[in-house]
Amino acid sequence: MTAPVHADPEPQNVPFRLEYLEGLKPGSEPSTEAEPSTGAEPTTAPEPAQPAPGGDPAAIEEASGGRLGIALVDSKGAMLLGFNREERFAMCSTFKAPLAAAVLMGAEQNRYGMEGTLPIKQSDLLDYAPVVKANLAKGRMPIADLAKAAVQVSDNSAANLLLPLVGGPQGLTAFFRKHGDEVTRLDRNEPTLNENAQGDERDTTSPAAMATVMARLLFQDMPAPAAGQLRGWLEGSTTGGKRIRAGLPAGWKAGDKTGSCGTAFNDVAVLRSPRGNDYVLAIYLDRPTVPDAKADATIAEATRAVMDMLVRIDRGRGG
C-alpha cells in the first residue's frame, strides 16, 4: 500500500488510505470542516444504523487467501477510501454496467432507439444466457431488454449482442477513455474475457478506475433520464445479495453489478445514504483460496469495514 499524501502521518496499521478527510482515523469522528458551510439548517435526517464493526482490510485479504482491492468515491469522484485501489483486477461481468451506460448514451445521441430490436439466434447462446434463451423463439429482442438482462441477471449473450452497438470491446475501451478512465480496458467478448490469466492486463480495471468512472457516468456525464434508467437496473440486480449489499447497514440503498469468473469475485455498487448522499464502492477479489460462499462473505466483510468509516464521513456531510 502506498504512503498517504496528506501531512498527518498515518500509523502503519491503519487499514485504509484516507484522501478526502485529512487526519480521519478509524473509529474517529469526521472534521466539522470537511465541507464549506452553505448556511443551510442542519439536517433532521435520522441517524443511520451503525454496521457491525469493520475489520482491517489487510486481515480480510489474508483470510481469503487472495488479493483484495477496494475503492470508494463520492458522487463528484473524490476518492474517500482505498485498499490496493490502483492494482489491476479482472473485470469479469462488472464491465456490463458501463456497457449499459454506453448503450444508453448511444440512444441519447440518436444512433438507435432503446425500443429498437436486435436479432437473436441459436448461435448467440452461451452457457449462461437465461433471458436471451427464453426469448429465442421470438427471433429479436429490444435493446432495452438486452441491457436490462445484462445488468440485472448478468446474461452473457445479452452483453455480446450489445457490444457491437458501442464498437465492440475496443469501442467500449474508447468509451472509458472519453470519460476520463485511462486504466480500464475490454479486449474480448464473453466468455473469453473471463480468462484472468496471471499478469495479463486484458479485460482488467482497477477498483479506483471503475469506481471513479461509474461515479462520473452516473452523476456527471450521462443525461438524467439515462442515468436514472441505469441506476434503476442496478437497483434491480438479482446477483449481488451476498456481496456488497450484505455488508450495508440499515437505511442504505444499493444498486450493484457483480462479476465472477471462477478465479475472481467482484462487485461494484452505487450507494445512497439515509441522508441522500451518493457514493460508488468497488470491491475486487482475485484468486481467493476459500470456497465460493466464503469469497462472497469476504466482499460483505470488506463492505462492513468500509461502512464503519463511511457512516462517519456521511454524518459530517449532512444531507
* Residues annotated catalytic, as ranges: 93, 190
Render the burial of 233-249: b for 16+ CB within 10 Å, e for the rest. Answer: bbbebebbebbbbbbbb
CA 70/CA 21 separation, integer angstroms: 17
Q: Is the dihedral of CA 183, 241, 74, 61 positive or negative?
A: negative
67: β partners: 286
Cα dihedral 230/231/236/242 (nearest 10): 120
- Contact status, residue 247 vs residue 302, Cβ threshold 8 Å: yes
- Based on the number of CB atoms within 10 Å of its own CB, is 63 exposed (0-12), middle (13-18) or buried (19 or more)? middle
SS3 state at 7 = coil
All 3 cell numbers of residue 305? 469495514
CA 85/CA 98 separation, integer angstroms: 19
All 3 cell numbers of residue 46? 435520522
CA 278/CA 256 separation, integer angstroms: 13
Instruction: Compute the half-sphere exposure of residue 126: CA atoms within 13 Å on the CB side of its CA.
Output: 15
CA 225/CA 26 separation, integer angstroms: 38
